[in-house]
Structure 1
Amino acid sequence: MNDFSDDLFDEKKIKKAVRRGKLKTIITVIIISIVVFVVLNIANSAISTNYSEKAFKQWDAYVRLSTPNGYISETVDSRGLLGGESNYEISKDFKIKSVVIERKQYSFGLIPSVLVSRGSGGKIGMTGEDWQFGYKENGWREMMFFHPNVSYKKYKDDEDQIELMQGDKIYEVAISFDQPYKPNELFIQLPEMTWFWVDTYSGEQLNDFQQEAKENDWTSTFIREHDALGFSINTPFISIHDLEVEYEQFLELLQMSISRDHRNTFNKMKDVKLEDVELLGAVVYGTKEEIVEILKEPFIKASSIGGVIENY
């Protein structure tokens, strides 16, 4: 009995047992913490990846719709807790090569990053003596469009400017038609046409455009590049089948875009068949000689130069 009692209350054995218990507890806590940390990181990575992929599709759709022949060519994600931000490059496909025109950011996730942007800039022509066009980050002008059902005080015509250009270059030019054309009415087959402007505007919007054109100075009354929605054509000679494929893709992009206005446009256009679509203009690429020849066509009401690249 005494031996049992001495062993039971042996201070050294008690301390040793306590130390073993504490060590076991610490090891257990560490293992659980590591497991929890790994699980949470895997979950956070999976959630962030899912939101990142969704955001990319939404923003790429927005870019493809609002930037003629544009697309997101590269993204670099910075991920945090259940979200993050993505730095991305916008490129334009000039058919002979692609060129980066802008670098931007967007946030994504359940807890998206807060983006703060600082800068300064403006538009040319604020004095009312020249067109109030803007510039892209790489220095290219933003193209202008003119709706054929709106009467403007003045129309942009860059033919003379292009004729004065020097060097072997490829020009990007927005052309506005003299009237809306159905796809089967677009009888002219120009290999240089790479993008078509689709009439997605309501009667109310057209009334607003006409009121602005009537009341405002001519320098500011036009439709800016990012407000003209359309789709690209990647074949040298256009067929109705090609237009059908691209038009279906156009509707999918409207539905997918991050822009609420684009999704509202989808609801308006989703039941409109290709044969009922009206095309208001196009974007053409070509050498100086090719562009000048195109601009002499009677169905072109206005022209606005955008980007210029070396022809190689």
Structure 2
Amino acid sequence: MDDFREDIFDEQKIKKAIKKGKRKSIIMIVFVSVIVFVVLNAINFAAYSYFSQSAFKQWDAYIKLSTPNGYISETVDTKGILGGESQFKVSKNMKIKSLVIEQKQYKFGVLPSLSYSRIAGNSIGFTGEDWQVTYKENGWRNLLFFHPDVTYQEYKHDEDLINQMQGEQIYEVALSFDKPYKQRELPLYELPTITWFWINTYSDSQLKTFQEKARKNDWSSTFIRENEALGFSVNYSIYSTIKLDNEYEDFLNLLQTSFYHEHHRAYDFMKDVDAKDVEILGIVVYGTKEELTNIIQQPFIKAVSLGGVINNY
């Protein structure tokens, strides 16, 4: 008992006990903080990875659907809190090589990071005297399409422009047909190695809207823009006897995966259409002037729209 009383009134021992208690408290606080930090970072990383992968799939589907032979070639993600931001490059397969055509960004997650961008540009062909052509970041023209079930006041004919160009170059050309064709009905027995098929995903109400615009608006603005035409690519020689079942199935999956509501609408319109009954409204082909001449001059080609041009090497 006397020893106990001495301990109680021993100032040095009291200070040591207090210090020991503080050390234990600090160690416990640090330990708990580290555990909380690790757990929260693990949760944040898991959420970031999930949202990042989900957003990439949606944007990859969107790019593949809205950019003929286009795809995301590179992404750089910045992690935020339960989300982040992705900077990505869009490339296009131009038969002999792929080139970056645009750089874009998207945000993802519950609390995506904040960022600001500034874009400067000018309007080209908006006078009503020429086609209202728009351009990609790398300077290539966006392709123009003309639905065969719509009567337009004017049709794009870039074959003269192609013929005026000098040198051996590879041209990207969108060809709109005179009527919808099923794959087995295509008037071309063989198509180039890389061919993008423009698929008829338009409802009757959409066609009616197109027809009204073509009738009421200036001819220079009445067409279907590249990002509004949906289709899929085939990277091998196409013959009229070959079936496109696998490519069409992948196309439907992309329509479901894309974040864009118009792609979901197109899926609802196409989901019950069998591959053999799919209507092809046009194609995008790649080749030299000589390789494309025979196709462009066919009577079933209603419009010709020039897109990208690269040197043939």
User: Same fold judged by TM-score > 0.5?
Assistant: yes
Give the equivalent residue in structure 2 for 1:237: 238
Question: Structure 1 residue 184: deviation in Å?
Answer: 1.0
Question: Secondary structure at 2:77's aligned position in 1?
Answer: strand
Question: Cα gap change, 1:239/1:178 in structure 2, threshold over 3 Å: closer, same or farther?
Answer: closer
Question: In 1, Cα distance between the equivalents of 2:154 and 2:193?
Answer: 26
| Inter-partner Cα distance in structure 2 for 1:107 and 1:273 | 36
Equivalent residue number for residue 161 of structure 1: 161
Matches within 5 A, 1:201-280: 201-238=202-239, 241-280=242-281
Distance 2:21 2:241 in 1: 79
- More displaced 10-residue stretch of structure 1: 67-76 or 3-12: 3-12
For the residues of structure 1 that align with 2:50 and 2:84, how far apart are their CA atoms? Answer: 12
Correspondence list, 1:1-312, <5 A: 1-188=1-188, 189-191=190-192, 194-238=195-239, 241-312=242-313
Q: Quick one: structure 1 residues 253 and 222, their matched pair in 2 at CA, closer, same or farther if it must change by over 3 Å?
A: same
- Give the 3 Å change call, closer, same or farther, for CA 140–76 of structure 1 in structure 2: same
Stretches of structure 2 that go unaligned for 5 or more consecutive residues are none
The superposition leaves residues 201-258 of structure 1 with CA deviations (integer Å, 9 ceiling, x where unpaired) of 1111111111111111111000000000000011123466551111100000000001
Encode CA deviations 1:84-126: one digit per residue, 9 max, x unaligned.
0000000001121111000000001111234433222243211
What per-residue deviation string (whole Å, max 9, x for no partner) do you get for residues 45-79 of structure 1? Answer: 11101110010000000000000000001100001
Query: Aligned in 2, Cα 1:86/1:240: closer, same or farther, shift over 3 Å?
Result: farther
Distance 1:13 1:193 in 2: 86
Contact 1:48 1:82 in 2 (8 A): yes
Shift of the 123–247 alpha-carbon distance from structure 1 to 2, 3 Å rule, reads farther
Helix, strand or coil: the match of 2:55?
helix
**What is the identity, as a one-letter code, of the residue corresponding to 2:225?**
R
Mapped to 1, the partners of 2:280 and 2:238 lie a distance apart of 17
Q: 2:304 is matched by which residue type in structure 1?
A: S
Structure 1 window deviating more from structure 2 (90-99 vs 3-12): it is 3-12
Distance in 2 (alpha carbons) for counterparts of 1:68 and 1:112 = 29
Deviations 1:267-311 (A, max 9, x none): 111111012211000001000111222110111000000000111
User: CA–CA distance in 2 between the matches of 1:176 and 1:192?
Assistant: 19
Question: Which residue identity is paired with 2:50?
Answer: N
Contact 1:122 1:134 in 2 (8 A): no
Q: How far is 1:27 from its partner?
A: 0.8
> What amino acid maps onto 1:225 in structure 2?
E
Q: Distance in 1 between matches of 2:69 and 2:239?
A: 16
Name the aligned partner's letter for residue 5 of structure 1.
R
CA RMSD of aligned residues (A): 1.3
**Cα gap change, 1:242/1:45 in structure 2, threshold over 3 Å: closer, same or farther?**
farther
- Aligned counterparts of 2:49 and 2:243: Cα–Cα separation in 1: 34
Sequence identity percentage? 60
Q: Does the Cα contact within 8 Å between 2:58 and 2:257 map onto a contact in 1?
A: yes
Distance 1:198 1:153, change over 3 A: same
Deviation at 1:3, TM superposition (A): 3.6
Secondary structure, aligned partner of 2:28: helix
**Pairs aligned (count):** 312
The letter of the residue matching 1:281 is: G
CA distance in 1, matches of 2:256, 2:308: 29
Q: Which amino acid aligns with 2:295?
A: I
SS in 1 for 2:191: coil
For 1:264 and 1:240, the matched residues in 2 are separated by: 30
For 1:2 and 1:200, the matched residues in 2 are separated by: 96
CA distance in 2, matches of 1:71, 1:238: 25
- The farther-off stretch of 232-241 and 292-301 is 232-241
- The answer to whether the Cα contact below 8 Å between 1:173 and 1:304 also exists between their aligned partners in 2 is yes
Q: Which residue identity is paired with 1:165?
A: M
